[in-house]
């Protein structure tokens, strides 16, 4: 291949993801569907009752999701949901999906080890700890059960709180003063992933998530998309949970139900830079976006390529 002056190389592909008995490499970008068993999700279209949630998970698989991420508590502020109620909302759904859709990988979005323990007994393959080890026993549950875990970053924020004037000072001599947030994210994720691996979890089953919006303002979240390659260099599969988030809404001045295009733009950039897993409300659109990026990267071939040949 001829390399022209000024050409940039294709960024490195992200790490392989391994869950249960499945291995997903660069030729299969991973789509994680959001299925919320809540009545107050910030995105109204993602609120499901028990039967609706099962149907939504099945539909997500049909539309190209590899993983469904089941949540029983709104991430932001809202009505109190204790561990017993959270488990009541998600554990029966895990059991039903494992029984009726056995090929589907199941994630449970929880920060509570008590809920996590019930979830893995019911058949969950992944624990999505979006509150950065607030309950340090959760990763121990993942290790004991032999399932995957998501390591996240919140800048020390407590569960279900919103950021307020949070700052990440740049290190002395930093070439880019915006990298303060990146440095904090990298340090947090490196330590959390090392603990998970030290407990015996397969490194390919330890996902790292910069956790956009959590403990961050819009400038921070935009910069973390821009610097995705630094996250992939950690050597673990990178999860991007970008879907319809506030940083996209604030950037474009749009409410949650009008943020699809912004989400897909950020998704495409992150995919190009090596992110591997994409948590989304919009499964079909995300599947097509990441598959197209994979083809542009050269990780997969076009499904049909007859133009100009016949």
> CA distances (Å), 121 to each of 87, 188, 199, 235, 277, in order?
12, 29, 19, 29, 24
Q: Name the helix (H) or strand (E) containing 18.
A: strand 17-19
Instruction: Convert the pLDDT of each residue in 8-24 to its tens digit.
Output: 789 988 999 999 989 99
Predicted pLDDT at 271: 98
SS3 content of the chain, % helix, strand, coil (to 5): 40, 15, 45
| CA–CA separation, 165 and 153 (whole Å) | 17
Instruction: Convert the pLDDT of each residue in 18-77 to its tens digit.
Output: 999 899 999 999 999 999 998 777 777 777 877 899 999 999 999 999 999 999 998 878
Q: Are 240 and 270 in contact (CB under 8 A)?
A: yes
Q: What is the mean pLDDT of residues 148-152?
A: 98
Instruction: Convert the pLDDT of each residue in 275-289 to its tens digit.
Output: 999 999 999 999 999
Band of pLDDT at residue 5, cut at 50, 70 and 90: low
Complete domains list, the chain, with CATH = 18-297 (3.20.20.20)
| CA–CA separation, 281 and 275 (whole Å) | 18
| CA–CA separation, 209 and 116 (whole Å) | 18
296 pLDDT more than 50: yes
What tokens appear for 228 in the block? Answer: 């995705």
pTM score? 0.93
Residues above pLDDT 70, as percent of the chain: 98
Predicted pLDDT at 163: 87
Q: Is 4 exposed, middle or buried (0-12, 13-18, 19+ CB in 10 A)?
A: exposed
Q: Are 162 and 171 in contact (CB under 8 A)?
A: no
How much is the mean pLDDT over the chain? 94
Phi/psi for 66 (5° steps) reads: -95, -30
Predicted pLDDT at 41: 74
Phi/psi for 67 (5° steps) reads: -130, 145
Residues with active-site annotation: 245, 279
Q: What is the mean pLDDT of residues 193-218?
A: 98
């Amino acid at each position: 291949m001829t390399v022209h002056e000024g050409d940039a190389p294709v960024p490195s592909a992200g790490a392989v993801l391994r869950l249960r008995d499945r291995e997903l490499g660069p030729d299969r970008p991973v789509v994680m569907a959001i299925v919320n068993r809540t009545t107050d999700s910030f995105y109204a279209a993602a609120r499901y009752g028990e039967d609706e949630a099962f149907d939504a998970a099945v539909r997500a698989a049909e539309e190209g999701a590899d993983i469904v991420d089941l949540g029983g508590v709104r991430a932001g502020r809202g009505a109190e949901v204790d561990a017993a109620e959270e488990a009541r909302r998600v554990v029966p759904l895990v059991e039903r999906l494992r029984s009726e859709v056995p090929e589907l990988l199941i994630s449970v979005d929880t920060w509570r080890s008590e809920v996590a323990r019930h979830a893995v007994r019911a058949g969950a393959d992944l624990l999505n700890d979006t509150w950065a080890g607030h309950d340090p026993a959760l990763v121990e549950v993942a290790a004991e059960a032999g399932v995957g875990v998501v390591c996240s970053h919140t800048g020390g924020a407590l569960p279900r709180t919103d950021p307020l004037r949070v700052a990440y000072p740049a290190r002395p001599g930093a070439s880019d003063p915006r990298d303060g947030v990146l440095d904090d994210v990298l340090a947090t994720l490196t330590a959390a992933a090392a603990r998970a691996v030290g407990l015996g979890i397969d490194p390919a089953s330890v996902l790292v998530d910069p956790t956009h919006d959590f403990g961050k303002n819009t400038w921070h979240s935009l910069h973390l998309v821009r610097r995705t390659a630094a996250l992939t260099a950690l050597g673990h599969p990178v999860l991007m949970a970008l879907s319809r988030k506030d940083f996209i809404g604030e950037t474009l001045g749009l409410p949650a139900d009008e943020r699809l295009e912004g989400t897909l733009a950020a998704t495409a950039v992150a995919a190009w830079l090596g992110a591997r897993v994409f948590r989304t409300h919009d499964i079909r659109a995300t599947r097509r976006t990441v598959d197209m990026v994979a083809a542009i990267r050269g990780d997969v071939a076009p499904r049909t390529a007859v133009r100009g040949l016949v």
